[in-house]
């Protein structure tokens, strides 16, 4: 993971009341989904008006998610929420990047017997169309595909035996979502990144796809056609670190996964940021024009 990036800008993060305050300085926006566009179930109240304001202002919008699912699956889910394809210009997911990696060199390198750590119902699109066999234990596998927990109520300790079995066999793991936690409404859910971190502590080999790694940002920047881009996200270790690594500006949504930590500083964003070696250019309570 990226843990130490210095962004070349004023070290004081500016607080915004709306993105319209800085929109003239950017040709496009890269928006995180979970915690920014929606809460896992519904879009936030300001989401659709803000997307329409971007369009009216002539700004391109790409959505970038660490969802461990194919892009077309997420697009369908967004459409059901009312976030239709007409409201954005492109969509990239960590799941899509993972699928292409498996479709490319990884299966030839690792083998084709896969133990899926996660929910087949939610995340089975990651192996659709691939020449792989899904096995029922790490002992039978050539590699682990990690998309997270099976049930949102599961805790990390429940997965220790499976992770130990994989590490003991020396299985490589593909982590299709580097996020460690996410809020579904008000429920805190363990994500694939936390499982991968535990696996690495057991000396397991992990390959990550998604934020904060450059490939997904480069796809969005190429689609926008400019590096005058602002990435908006709620995760310091993924959204903000990834934007810094890609050489673009960022805005931290403070009502997302760090909301409790920010509240512990009485809402002082500068105090919250002292524990990080990189900083967002802006802080904003939510995605709002």
DSSP character string of 218-238: HHHHHHHT-S-EEEEES-III
Please give the Cα distance from 262 to 254 (Å, whole number): 7
Please give the Cα distance from 171 to 163 (Å, whole number): 10
List Cα–Cα distances, 270 to 12, 28, 153, 281, in angstroms. Answer: 7, 26, 33, 11
Please give the Cα distance from 144 to 151 (Å, whole number): 18
CATH number, span 111-208: 3.40.50.1000
- pTM for this entry: 0.89
- Residue range 14-66+211-284 forms a domain whose CATH class is alpha beta
- Pull the structure tokens for residue 20: 């319209």
Please give the Cα distance from 167 to 77 (Å, whole number): 34
Please give the Cα distance from 198 to 156 (Å, whole number): 9
Please give the Cα distance from 82 to 74 (Å, whole number): 12
Q: Beta 113-117 vs 133-135: how paired, if at all?
A: parallel
Each of the 289 residues of the chain gets a pLDDT tens digit; together they read 333 333 444 568 999 999 999 999 999 999 999 999 999 889 999 999 999 999 999 999 999 999 999 999 999 999 999 999 999 999 999 999 999 999 988 999 999 999 999 999 899 999 999 999 999 999 999 999 999 998 878 888 999 999 999 999 999 999 999 988 666 666 667 889 999 999 999 999 999 999 999 999 999 999 999 999 999 999 999 999 999 999 999 999 999 889 989 999 998 999 999 989 889 999 999 999 9
Please give the Cα distance from 91 to 256 (Å, whole number): 20
CATH 3.40.50.1000 domain span(s) along the chain: 14-66+211-284, 111-208
């Amino acid at each position: 993971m990226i843990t130490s990036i210095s962004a070349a800008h004023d070290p004081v993060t500016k607080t915004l009341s709306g993105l319209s305050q800085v929109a003239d300085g950017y040709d496009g926006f890269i928006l995180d989904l979970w915690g920014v566009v929606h809460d896992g179930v519904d879009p936030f109240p300001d989401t659709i008006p803000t997307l329409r304001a971007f369009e009216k202002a002539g700004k391109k919008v790409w959505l970038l998610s660490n969802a461990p699912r194919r892009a077309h699956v997420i697009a369908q889910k967004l459409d059901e929420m009312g976030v239709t394809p007409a409201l954005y210009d492109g969509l990239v997911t960590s799941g899509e990047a993972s699928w292409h990696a498996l479709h490319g060199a990884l299966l030839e390198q690792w083998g084709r017997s896969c133990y899926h750590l996660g929910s087949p119902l939610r995340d089975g699109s990651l192996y659709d169309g691939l020449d792989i066999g899904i096995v029922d234990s790490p002992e039978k596998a050539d590699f682990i595909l990690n998309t997270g927990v099976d049930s949102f109520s599961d805790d990390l300790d429940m997965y220790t035996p499976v992770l130990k079995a994989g590490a003991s066999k020396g299985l490589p793991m593909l982590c299709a979502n580097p996020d460690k936690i996410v809020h579904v409404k008000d429920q805190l859910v363990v994500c694939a990144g936390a499982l991968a971190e535990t696996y690495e502590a057991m000396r397991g080999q992990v390959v990550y796809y998604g934020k904060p790694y450059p490939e997904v940002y480069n796809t969005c920047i190429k689609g926008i056609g400019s590096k005058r881009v602002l990435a908006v996200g709620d995760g310091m270790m993924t959204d903000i670190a990834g934007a810094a690594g890609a050489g673009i500006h960022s805005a931290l949504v403070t009502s997302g996964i760090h909301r409790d930590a920010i509240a512990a500083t009485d809402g002082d964003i500068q105090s919250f940021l002292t524990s990080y070696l990189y900083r967002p250019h802006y802080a904003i309570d939510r995605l709002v024009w």
